[in-house]
Structure 1
C-alpha cells in the first residue's frame, strides 16, 4: 500500500515519518508488524507528534470540521494540543458542545432504530 494509506492506518502524520517509510511501499505484513511491534520512531510519533488532524480532533473531543472552524488546519504536537486544551478557547468550547449534541442525536437515532 502507499505510504499515505499506511500512515493513516497507523494514526501518524506522514510528513513526520522517516524518509524510507515515505518513499517505500508498505505490505500488509509490514503494516501488521508495525502495529504489533512498533519501532521507536513510531512510538515517538504516537507519543509526541506531530499528529494528523483525526488524532488532534479525537484528543480535543471535536470533529475534523470543528478543527478547521477553529483555525487548526495542520499537524500539532502533543505539547501544542495540551496547550490548546489548557487555554480552552471559545471555539473549542463551542465545538465540544456541538460534538456532544451530535453524539446525543446519534444515540437517540440508534435507539429509535432498535425499537422499530
Structure 2
C-alpha cells in the first residue's frame, strides 16, 4: 500500500511520519504489524500529533466541513486541541451544535428506515 493510504488508515499526519515510512510501500503484513505492535514514533504521533483534519474534527466533535467553515487549521497537535476545548470559542460551540443536530437527524432517518424495512 502507498504510505498515504496507510497513514490515513492509521489516523496519522503523513508529513510528520519518519522519512523511511513516507518513502516506502507498506505490505499488508507490515500494516498489520503496525496495528498490533506500533513502534514508538507511531504511538507518539497518535498521542501528541500533529493530527490530520479528520482526527482533529473527531476530537473537537465537529465535521471536517465545520473546521473549514471556521477557518481552523487542518492540522493540530493534541495540546492545541485541548486548548480549544478549554477555551470553547464561539465557532466551536456553533459547529458542535450543528454536528450534533446532523447526527441526530441521521439517526432519526436510520431508525425510520429500519422500522419501514421491518414492516415489509
TM-score bracket for this pair, using the shorter chain length: over 0.9
Q: CA deviation at 1:73?
A: 3.4
Give the CA RMSD over aligned residues: 0.7
1:69 positional shift: 1.0
What aligned pairs does 1:1-116 form with structure 2 within 5 A after superposition? 1-116=1-116
Runs of 4 or more consecutive aligned structure 1 residues displaced over 6 Å after TM superposition: none
How far is 1:74 from its partner?
2.8
Give the secondary structure class of the aligned counterpart of 1:95.
Answer: helix
Per the normalisation by structure 2, the TM-score is 0.94
CA distance in 1 between counterparts of 2:68 and 2:85 reads: 16
Residues matched between the structures, number: 116
Task: Give how far 1:72 is off.
Answer: 1.8
TM, length-normalised to structure 1: 0.97
C-alpha displacement at 1:115, in angstroms? Answer: 1.2
Structure 2: unaligned runs, 5 residues or longer: none
Compute the displacement of 1:87 (Å).
1.1
